[in-house]
Structure 1
Amino acid sequence: MVVFIIPVKSQRVSGSWNQFSKLFERTLKSVSNQTSPNFKIVVVCHEKPATKFEHPSIEYIHVDFDPPNLATVEKSKHDGLKEEDKSKKILAGINYSEQHNPDYLMVVDADDCISNKIVEFVDKHKGSNTNGWYLKKGYVYREGDRFISLNKENFNTLCGTCIIIKPGLIHRIFKNVPHLLFVHKTTSFEGNIELLRFPFPGAIYSMANGENHFMSNDKIKSLNSGNIFSLKTIKSIFRKLGKYRIKPLSENIKNEFGMYEIKNS
């Protein structure tokens, strides 16, 4: 069994709770659309987002610690507080998931989408010598675009939705300096323990959706002084990086990942 853990930000730190709830609902639908039924979804939150979507594999748990109080610190520390809050929720989800005796755990960010083939693949390839996988390949998508970019080289360094791992190892992904942090780019551990490369693109990283604090519209604009939202400019940036291939957002991709357009509220 695979248990998906989805940490959810508090309404108190959301720019638009309505917008975030729409993104979260899309994520739930995406994760629930697995071709194998051998999974559970654990949502960890302060408040349940506004969604009517239900699935028998979804379970909600509510944390009792306070959400980040961004008003008490300078803006430069906001991201750190949000990441610490997220990491504490992931830990709560890990502890809760023990009752399901999972073979593997996967953290999914609340605004991303995943391939519906993940659990089926894990079912076929799990074993005592398979510690887990990391997503070297994945898609990067700016909300509203007709195109999507395939990162072929280092998707796991960009997106938190990137690791499928045995429960006994997942605690080793966290660090405590300068604050509690889930280090999703981790691929190896002491003792010659390695995660395998997942063989196909496994997730879509949603950016510029209004609720992603690392890839907001303002941060994307800062990457280039020109028209960052033109297809020509995006292609130029990605080609320079040498890690991306731009392709149309096809019906096949939409169906596999449960991707659909969400307009900003």
Structure 2
Amino acid sequence: MKFGIVIPLKSKKISRDWAVTSAALEGTIRSIQNQTDQNFVVSVAGHDCPEFFKNMLNERFRFTKVDYDAPDRNAPNFKTQELINDKVLKIMTGLIAIKDEPLSWIYQLDSDDLIRNDFIEQINIVPPTDAIIVEGGYIYYQSAQRIIETNEMDQLCGSVVVVKPSTFSFPPSADLQYIHDLPWTKYRHMNIYKFFENNNQSYTRSSENLVTYLLATGDNFSDRWRTGLVSQIKAVMKPYLFGKKYLILLNLNFH
């Protein structure tokens, strides 16, 4: 049985800096490559495939190009919901690409986050359950080279939910009509537990620091929400007030 990882990737059109977006994905992929358990398949879905990824495509690392137009945030009638819908459709596309694999778990990982090198191994030893919600991890402020440890990762980051394939039905196509059929698309990460509770499914919360959430890369989705000067200043100061210098140990465990 394989561990399935689905990664939705923003397009060049919506990316603030495609080089930054590509470099972030490269770090994410490297954290998967260095897993202690190598029985996995990675499904990246997007409009554009970074050059480095083109050179490593095989049965374990796959890219599926979506066939709809990318959102244009410079358009006069642009709405933020278009970004959310774009990610939803890419999650569906990534899932469809691996639906015929014998999967033990499925994990939606954002394209700029990192997983600890024993992430898959740790998930596989969790007592039987339908889903796992990761609460422990680190916020990494890349521009400041500082980290904040947190036990509320599920409130901050989308890369925190691992599920059994039996918890949902794979969508027959990438279409917004199926948005309520998948845990990652029906609820935001902080409320995703409701998907399992409403379907009488079990879930476990893990306190292991298994995920590193990258911020301040210059291309974060959350950056678009900070339009006020005060919120921008707080975001800049937070890693210096509450964070620690980036640790060598953390660097080794997440790369």
Find runs of 4+ consecutive structure 1 residues off by over 6 angstroms.
none
Counterpart amino acid of residue 149 in structure 1: I
Equivalent residues of 1:22, 1:51 under 8 A apart: no
2:174 aligned partner: none
Range 186-195 or range 89-98, more displaced: 186-195
- Mapped partners of 1:191, 1:227: distance in 2: 37
SS across alignment from 1:229: helix
Identify the match of residue 246 of structure 2 among 237, 246, 249: 249
Structure 2, unmatched stretches of 5+, are 171-177
Range 99-108 or range 54-63, more displaced: 54-63
- Mapped partners of 1:199, 1:136: distance in 2: 5
Identify the match of residue 183 of structure 1 among 156, 166, 188: 188
SS across alignment from 2:100: helix
Specify whether residues 170 and 83 from structure 1 end up closer, same or farther in structure 2 by C-alpha distance, changes over 3 A only: farther
1:119 aligned partner: 120
Given the alignment of the two structures, is residue 103 of structure 1 paired with residue 108 of structure 2, yes or no? no
Count of residues in Structure 1 that have an aligned counterpart in Structure 2: 239
- RMSD across aligned positions (CA): 2.8
Identify the match of residue 157 of structure 2 among 153, 156, 159: 159
SS across alignment from 1:141: strand
Given the alignment of the two structures, is residue 228 of structure 1 paired with residue 236 of structure 2, yes or no? yes
Structure 1, unmatched stretches of 5+, are 236-245, 259-265
Given the alignment of the two structures, is residue 193 of structure 1 paired with residue 192 of structure 2, yes or no? no
Counterpart amino acid of residue 160 in structure 1: G
Shift of 1:216: 5.8
- Mapped partners of 2:142, 2:201: distance in 1: 37
1:92 aligned partner: 93
Equivalent residues of 1:136, 1:155 under 8 A apart: yes
SS across alignment from 2:88: helix
Equivalent residues of 2:137, 2:210 under 8 A apart: yes
- Mapped partners of 1:83, 1:32: distance in 2: 28
Specify whether residues 11 and 156 from structure 1 end up closer, same or farther in structure 2 by C-alpha distance, changes over 3 A only: same
- Mapped partners of 1:37, 1:126: distance in 2: 21
1:145 aligned partner: 144
1:261 aligned partner: none
Alignment of 1:65-76 (within 5 A): 65-74=68-77
1:241 aligned partner: none
- Mapped partners of 1:45, 1:226: distance in 2: 32
Shift of 1:191: 4.1
Equivalent residues of 2:226, 2:232 under 8 A apart: no
SS across alignment from 1:59: strand
Task: Please give the TM-score of this superposition, normalised by the length of structure 1.
Answer: 0.79
- Mapped partners of 1:193, 1:247: distance in 2: 38
Shift of 1:115: 1.0
Q: Deviations over 1:5-51 (max 9, x none)?
A: 11001111111111211111111111221101111111111110232
Specify whether residues 231 and 210 from structure 1 end up closer, same or farther in structure 2 by C-alpha distance, changes over 3 A only: closer
Shift of 1:219: 5.4
Counterpart amino acid of residue 135 in structure 2: K
Specify whether residues 12 and 167 from structure 1 end up closer, same or farther in structure 2 by C-alpha distance, changes over 3 A only: same
Given the alignment of the two structures, is residue 60 of structure 1 paired with residue 57 of structure 2, yes or no? no
Shift of 1:120: 0.9
Equivalent residues of 1:25, 1:51 under 8 A apart: yes
